[in-house]
Structure 1
Amino acid sequence: MNRSLSTIAASLALLALAVALPAQARSISYATGYPPNSIGSDAAMKYASALEKISDGDLKAKVYSMSLLSFSEAAPGIRDGMADSGFVLFSYFPAEFPNTNLVSELTMLLELDDVEPSKAGLAYVGAMSEFIFKDCPECVQEFAAQNQVFTGASASAPYMLLCNDKVVSQSDVRGKRVRSAGAQWARWAEAVGATPVTISVSDAYEALNQGVLDCSISSSVDLDIFKLSEVVEHITPDVPGGVFGGTGVNNVNREVWQSLSEKQRKDLLYASAVLGAEISWDYQAGATKELDNAPDAGIEVHDADDSLRDATQAFIEKDAQTIADNYAKRHGIERSDEMVETFRGILSKWVDRVADVDNADDLAELYWDEIYSKVDVSSYGL
């Protein structure tokens, strides 16, 4: 009898101890090709902090900056479980993500909405995320085929001409060798009489310095990140426009996503909204700073003339249909026309929504309230 009471007492004591001990947090690895102390890496650290806070310590993120998966390894690495989640550049994987890449090429449509340049990338993040979550089951399916779940987007600041000659008119740009940052910008270069050159932004410095390039289509933040301020003498900010927005800011391994509780999935989505807002806001802030400081670095900033602006506007209108036709032909996307029109409407809506946002915290809340909080975590990605 005494032994029995002793056993019960011991069991009760162990139970009380177990109740008193906090539950161990689930740790999720996050891989990014950005190096430490860069905009992308710093935003990832803010994401990790937000995830722990939002989940009340139930979830944590371990950030691996340029150490676990490079940008070119991200999609297959997340698919195969080398990382639980990470930053994916869709343009690196055209065969795997054709529907998503279709929308990623539509960023120059921002110029037709007369968007405030400092808000262009912010609007695109909202539109891209909303479209994939709500209006593109094909996108969700192609992520699932790669054992991934999309949880949000990010975008750069607007792309412009960074040149070693003054380029403000169609006659100025004609014959210039221009680094294109994507297929849509290459088509723009050809449309205005320039010669598109495909090289990485990391190689643009030497190409501009040696005269292999006359201009690079880049964000002004690249003046700092890639030191282009040392080889660029002229900037034309208002052409060609558009942003780089083909990113999965936090794609999650599908098996990892399915292993989370519904609350954990919702918490992760909330933190992804923070991540997308932080990285996109910081890119814009950095780009604005570099453009403002350009004259002090001896760089002249010019406005494009009517001939180049009008040619750019005409190209953008025509290119939307070109994109739809290309993806229908090359990838067999049956809804390409419908997808373009649907996305255009969503993008215009987001241009209005972000117009008055003036900090990253409010931007994250806007993304959460309008998009991420409405995702049905009981079925999405399962």
Structure 2
Amino acid sequence: MNIKKKSLLFIGMVSTVALLTSGCAAGEKTDPGGGSGSGGTIADMDPIVLKVAEANAEEAAQGQAVVAFMDYIEQATDGKVTFEPYWSSSLFPYLDALGSTGSGLADISAISGAFTPDDTPGLAWLSGLGAVQGESWPASYLQAQGATVELVQESEDLQQELINHNVRALWIGNSPRADLYCKEPLGDPAGKRVRVVGEFWAGEVESLGMIPASLPLTEAYEALERGIIDCISTASGFMTFPQMGITEVAPYYYAMNMASLPGNGYIINLDTWNSFSDELKQIFNEGAAYFAAAMAEKFIEGYSTVAADAESFGITIEDASSANATIDVYNEEAISKLAATAPASISDPEALIARYQDLIEEWHESVTNELGIPTEPVGSTEEQLESYRTGVDVFDVDRFGDLLIPLF
């Protein structure tokens, strides 16, 4: 991403009209010391240092996207805003991100609503919509990323859920689909034990007769090696597991039509946000758009790298068509029942589901027409691997960021 180019372009575009018309999220509190909607310029502001908590290592895809965002903001503010990053959950555990960021221990942190259902029931419920997307790479992921960012940005219910904890969404998006690595070829999956992310994915594997298990990723290698589980699944697993060494004990890969993980992204402390001038909020909003685009870029690059070195990772690509046919039937039925399971924080679940489905179609058009990326379903396993290899060649991160900017 050409961060400097984008930053300078944005600074030249900020106008008095933009500053006067910038608004607050639904229910947003105001900061008594300058607060939401305050004026002031970047040139006049005192330097600030913001703490950023990231669950992953700096060299991971997520970490590299965080670095791109921090560089963007530092350049756009001429160094008035700098960052103090804490990698690999070194500031607090990942599951404590909501409370720790709301309390001010961090200014910005990674979050996944699916992992905090008691505190973010709406975002956790949103996980069921992860099955609503296409079947091509990287188009399906980009559709889901764009649609989820847009849905969360415009949903007062989802925004208020975060505001209740003294945070707001910097951006909340999606992930690549969950997939499967197994110790042995899957064959008849009935009775095989598989580590899954959460409840919706448990239902997907149960539809195959498999037995879902819950355990931290840090324990996955040993669990596979000792035969406690037979397979392992997570969002973006194709890239993540080889880098963790999982393919040493589970080399058989299945590109599944399992749900992705909507509701994950980054939050910012509400008091921190409300202390920003309107100009700085504008810069952070544009930075958030390119942050979400950079995350997509890093995942696509990671898939390409692993696919190009699949043999050295010991990966064997297996045919998942039979399993996927079963999962597709399960997902269609599960989505039809999703509204009935919505938490009280979602005022009109039917409308939210319909809106997401519409957004997936709209982003299908954007990915096809604006980004020029093929959206036809991938056929054979070799075609799947080839789409992973070449995804990086067809993706323009700056253009994707441009498409996201109007959402903020």
> Same fold, TM exceeding 0.5?
yes
1:302 and 2:318 equivalent?
yes
Q: SS where residue 242 of structure 1 aligns?
A: coil
1:345 to 358, 362, 378: 358
Moved over 6 A (4+): none
Residue 292 to residue 332, structure 1, CA distance change in 2 (3 Å): same
Q: In structure 1, give the amino acid aligned to 2:340.
A: D
1:362 and 2:384 equivalent?
no
Q: In structure 2, give the amino acid aligned to 1:153.
A: I
- CA offset at residue 42 of structure 1? 2.1
Answer whether contact 1:89 1:247 (CA < 8 A) is retained: yes
Give the structure 1 partner of residue 248 of structure 2. Answer: 230
Structure 2 residues not aligned, in runs of 5+: 1-42, 374-394
Query: Normalized per residue, which structure has more helix?
Result: 1
Residue 22 to residue 144, structure 1, CA distance change in 2 (3 Å): closer
- CA offset at residue 266 of structure 1? 1.1
Q: Please, what is the CA RMSD of the aligned residues?
A: 2.1
In 2, distance between residues paired with 1:197 and 1:354?
Answer: 35
TM-superposition CA deviations, 1:229-270 (whole Å, max 9, x none): 211131111x23332232132x11111111111111111111
The aligned runs of 1:15-26 (5 Å cut-off) are 24-26=46-48
Q: Mean Cα displacement is larger for which, 346-355 or 176-185?
A: 346-355
Answer whether contact 1:59 1:264 (CA < 8 A) is retained: no
TM-superposition CA deviations, 1:65-112 (whole Å, max 9, x none): 2332331221111110111121112122212211222223311111xx
TM-superposition CA deviations, 1:312-365 (whole Å, max 9, x none): 21111111133322224xx46442222112111112222332343613222222
Give the structure 1 partner of residue 218 of structure 2. Answer: 202
1:69 and 2:92 equivalent?
yes
Give the structure 2 partner of residue 158 of structure 1. Answer: 177
Give the structure 1 partner of residue 144 of structure 2. Answer: 124
In 2, distance between residues paired with 1:23 and 1:338?
Answer: 42
TM-superposition CA deviations, 1:256-285 (whole Å, max 9, x none): 111111111111111112222212321232
Answer whether contact 2:144 2:175 (CA < 8 A) is retained: no
Q: In structure 1, give the amino acid aligned to 2:277.
A: S
Residue 261 to residue 22, structure 1, CA distance change in 2 (3 Å): closer
1:245 to 262, 270, 273: 262
Q: Give the TM-score, by structure 2 length.
A: 0.77
TM-superposition CA deviations, 1:106-147 (whole Å, max 9, x none): 11111xxx342223332222111111111x211111111100
Answer whether contact 1:205 1:228 (CA < 8 A) is retained: yes
Structure 1 residues not aligned, in runs of 5+: 1-20, 373-382
TM-superposition CA deviations, 1:206-239 (whole Å, max 9, x none): 11111111111231112333211211131111x2
Give the structure 1 partner of residue 117 of structure 2. Answer: 94
Q: SS where residue 152 of structure 1 aligns?
A: strand
Q: Give the TM-score, by structure 1 length.
A: 0.82
Q: In structure 2, give the amino acid aligned to 1:127.
A: A
Residue 303 to residue 363, structure 1, CA distance change in 2 (3 Å): same
In 2, distance between residues paired with 1:317 and 1:223?
Answer: 28
Q: Percent identity?
A: 21
Answer whether contact 2:194 2:233 (CA < 8 A) is retained: yes
In 2, distance between residues paired with 1:99 and 1:23?
Answer: 37
Q: SS where residue 216 of structure 1 aligns?
A: strand
- CA offset at residue 40 of structure 1? 2.0
1:133 and 2:153 equivalent?
yes
1:79 and 2:92 equivalent?
no
1:143 and 2:162 equivalent?
yes
Q: SS where residue 301 of structure 1 aligns?
A: strand
Answer whether contact 1:224 1:290 (CA < 8 A) is retained: yes
Residue 164 to residue 69, structure 1, CA distance change in 2 (3 Å): same
In 1, distance between residues paired with 2:180 and 2:242?
Answer: 15
In 2, distance between residues paired with 1:291 and 1:322?
Answer: 36
Answer whether contact 2:145 2:175 (CA < 8 A) is retained: no
Answer whether contact 2:127 2:200 (CA < 8 A) is retained: no
1:316 and 2:331 equivalent?
yes
Give the structure 2 partner of residue 49 of structure 1. Answer: 71
Q: SS where residue 170 of structure 2 aligns?
A: coil
Residue 148 to residue 298, structure 1, CA distance change in 2 (3 Å): closer
Give the structure 2 partner of residue 375 of structure 1. Answer: none
Q: SS where residue 268 of structure 2 aligns?
A: strand
In 2, distance between residues paired with 1:44 and 1:26?
Answer: 18
Count of aligned pairs: 339
